[in-house]
Amino acid sequence: DAGVTQSPTHLIKTRGQQVTLRCSPKSGHDTVSWYQQALGQGPQFIFQYYEEEERQRGNFPDRFSGHQFPNYSSELNVNALLLGDSALYLCASSGTGDRETQYFGPGTRLLVL
């Protein structure tokens, strides 16, 4: 049973650039959430996608946007990168049965120079 997968594992970008991160949910899951985790902190909720729509959003600027595809996979896009966007970006999926429990992928480490 494949778990949550994310790509790429690491990424280095320059201030002002744009980045796209990708996530495939756990088999059988239809809901994807994205989180940003700074070093030494807990994950911060960015947004959640369900049925290809953004269902809820955290306190992140519009530079952060996303998309969910018909196969439930998802992308996180960040425009106009700032140094402060350097973090571990985590994708989590949940699905039928136990909708509250989320399972996380390994994350994408983004470094903005």
Partner 1 sequence: EDQVTQSPEALRLQEGESSSLNCSYTVSGLRGLFWYRQDPGKGPEFLFTLYSAGEEKEKERLKATLTKKESFLHITAPKPEDSATYLCAVQHTGGFKTIFGAGTRLFVKA
Q: Which residues bind partner 1 (CB under 8 A)?
A: 4, 6, 33, 35, 40-45, 48, 50, 55-56, 58, 88, 90, 98, 100-107, 109
Sheet holding 19-24, edge to edge: 5-7, 19-24, 74-78, 64-68
Residue 36 Cβ, how far from partner 1 at the closest point, in Å? Answer: 11
Residue 55 Cβ, how far from partner 1 at the closest point, in Å? Answer: 6
Cis-peptide into 61, omega within 30 deg: no
Residue 107 Cβ, how far from partner 1 at the closest point, in Å? Answer: 5
Q: Of 71 and 101, which has the nearer Cβ to partner 1?
A: 101
Burial of 59 from C-beta contacts in 10 A (0-12 / 13-18 / 19+): exposed
Q: Of 38 and 113, which has the nearer Cβ to partner 1?
A: 38
**What DSSP designation does 113 have?**
-
